[in-house]
Amino acid sequence: MRLLLFFDLPVEKKAQRRNYSRFVKDIKSLGFYMFQKSVYLKLCLDQRIANSAIEKVKKMSPKEGSVAVLTITEKQFGDINIILGEINTEVINSDERNIEL
């Protein structure tokens, strides 16, 4: 499953820009990667891991702006129609990511 994190944070004041930068750094440390400018993705193995990540995002979110998270399945993510551009990520988006023991 994937977590899609959408956010719109104010950046008019110096403190707001600092909060924005800190938030982006923090979500990247949780394993989120940029999908679009204010849309980040995280691959989660199960619902427990997804819920844990959501709780951490809640705690690190700035007091101003808006932050939303949507959980989707791999099938739903695979059905995304890219109209223009491409998904640039180091995450393998195919069955190749499965680890064989």
**What is the CATH number for 24?**
3.30.70.240
Indicate the pTM of the whole model. Answer: 0.80
Please count the CA atoms within 13 angstroms of the CA of 36 that sit on its side-chain side.
11
pLDDT digits (tens, 9 = 90+) for 23-58: 999 999 999 999 999 999 999 999 999 999 999 999
State the DSSP code for 97. G
Q: Is residue 10 part of a domain?
A: yes
12: containing domain:
2-79
Q: Assess contact for 32 and 41: CB atoms under 8 A.
A: yes
Q: Is residue 95 part of a domain?
A: no
- Look at residues 97, 8, 81, 85 and name the one whose alpha carbon lies nearest to residue 45: 97
* Cα separation values, 58 from 14, 17, 23, 98, Å: 22, 19, 11, 30
